[in-house]
């Protein structure tokens, strides 16, 4: 395999208050897609009632209501109820979440070159932006 159709893919569970993402979050998701540095491959929503019941909704079910009508996603079906169940304990009662499957387009060619050279990513860790900014701020930079 000389070329990769996809770069590295990340499952990202994002939480938010209420039953649906607000306009700022919807705008950020749409900007992510328009940037061409990342591609949204799939997205599933989940809400946990105050009593603890979990409801899972596919993008097609809520796209119009959530302001995501016309959103084109390449690989619907990569994320589903089983994936949400895996992360369900992260969703607090009375809140909601979206599970995004994001391809790191910027890394596609790098991943292909690494593979062709017989290399492999041995370790990767994502540090959340708030943690990085707090650390940098505490260093006085």
Per-residue pLDDT of the chain (141 residues; tens, 9 = 90+): 567 888 899 999 999 998 889 999 999 988 888 888 888 899 999 999 999 999 999 888 999 999 998 887 877 678 877 888 888 899 999 999 999 999 999 899 999 999 999 999 899 888 888 898 998 988 875
pTM listed for this prediction: 0.83
Do the beta carbons of residue 12 and residue 102 sit within 8 Å?
A: yes
Instruction: Identify each DSSP E strand in the chain by its residue range.
Output: 9-17, 39-48, 54-58, 95-103
Do the beta carbons of residue 98 and residue 21 sit within 8 Å?
A: yes
């Amino acid at each position: 395999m000389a070329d990769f159709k996809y770069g590295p893919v990340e499952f990202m569970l994002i939480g938010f208050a209420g039953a649906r993402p607000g306009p700022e979050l919807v705008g950020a998701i749409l900007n992510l897609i328009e940037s061409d540095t990342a591609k949204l491959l799939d997205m599933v929503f989940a809400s946990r009632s105050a009593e603890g019941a979990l409801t899972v909704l596919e993008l097609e079910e809520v796209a119009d209501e959530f302001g995501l009508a016309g959103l084109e996603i390449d690989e619907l079906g990569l994320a589903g109820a089983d994936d949400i169940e895996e992360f369900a304990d992260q969703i607090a009662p009375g809140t909601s979440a979206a599970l995004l499957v994001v391809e790191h387009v910027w890394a596609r060619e790098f991943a292909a070159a690494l593979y062709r050279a017989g290399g492999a990513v041995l370790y990767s860790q994502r540090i959340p932006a708030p943690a990085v900014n707090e650390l940098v701020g505490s260093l006085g930079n």
